[in-house]
Amino acid sequence: MTGTTSDPKYPERPRRARRLGIAVLVCTVPALCAGGWFGWQALADGSRPAASSAATPAGTAAAPEPSSPEPAPASSGPAAGGPAPSGSAPTGSGPLNGRTVLLDPGHNPGNTKHTTEINKQVDIGNARKECDTTGTATNAGYSEASYTLDVVHRAREILRQRGANVVLTQDGDRPFGPCIDERARIGNQAKADAAVSVHADGAPSGAHGFHVIMPGKVTAGAADTSAIVDPSHRLGLELRDAFKRATGQPYADYIGKDGLDTRTDLGGLNLSRVPKVFIECGNMRNAADAQHMTDPQWRQKAAEGIAEAVTAFLAQGS
């Protein structure tokens, strides 16, 4: 998010641009890009610095450009940002037969061309926040939106082979969004057994590691996480442990504790009625983390970690 939680994430920790015009300006000035982490601290769910327009680093397999965090702008409906999401039928038979998994690739590269739409405020229950943000990028220009969609595609194939019906909030098939509230609604309407929102952070270059964000208890307006806090916590623990085993990535050294963080300011979690967590797979502004995330083989490991976590969680009968 600034990272990653599809919602404008930090404070929410705001990381995305409130006005993309500002975000784009910041990231076109190398000396200022490193300050993105502080900028998002003032934004909301999914607020991060705008992704750089630089070309994908040499040797990096370009991933399909994804869509954004939660639902489409103010209207919050599929028609506002693109086609309604559809599930991917299982390709195999296994432990996930009959289960539905929601995968939420954070951000949308098209958001930079739709600043008016993504800057509109949506209701997340206990506050109002930007529909979405642009996400972050490595210093070489590999965008968070490309990263998240690539990892989600890889995880989807693993889960489908295990018998799961997999629903995506967006598949690079819409011009922007969806907005954060719509992202939650897609999982609710699918009656997902588990939901994971995939992100990458944009913290200061010296910070590194991954962390999992779980929902805190929120009962305000349209938000009521009472029923999902406990199962989401179990899903979060499974995801933290499986991701670390699969990738070797250390826990974040700049946020959370032992790779876990609990938030009540993310629309994608506040409005969810199904067990859901976010994962910030690493800090794209950190050289070591960026090297991992631009490596297709590492992204495959990241996908395997996510799939293993979902499989283990659903094996508990949740």
d(CA 184, CA 269): 7
Average pLDDT for residues 34-49, to the nearest whole number? Answer: 37
Average pLDDT for residues 216-230, to the nearest whole number? Answer: 98
Backbone φ and ψ for 50, nearest 5 degrees, come out as: -65, 145
Q: Are 269 and 213 in contact (CB under 8 A)?
A: yes
Span 93-148, pLDDT tens digits: 899 999 999 999 999 988 889 989 999 999 999 999 999 999 999 999 999 999 99
- What is the pLDDT, as a whole number, of residue 87? 79
In Å, what is the CA distance from 24 to each residue of 63, 217, 286?
21, 35, 20
CATH number of 60-131+144-315: 3.40.630.40
pLDDT interval class at 149 (50, 70, 90): very high
User: Which residue, 224, 202, 206, is CA-closest to 215?
Assistant: 224
d(CA 260, CA 278): 10
pLDDT interval class at 8 (50, 70, 90): low
Span 270-310, pLDDT tens digits: 999 999 999 999 999 999 999 999 999 999 999 999 999 99
Catalytic residue numbers read 280
User: Which residue, 59, 54, 84, 87, is CA-closest to 71?
Assistant: 84
Average pLDDT for residues 153-163, to the nearest whole number? Answer: 98
d(CA 168, CA 31): 36
- Compute the 3-state secondary structure of the chain and give helix, strand, coil in percent, each to the nearest 5: 35, 20, 45
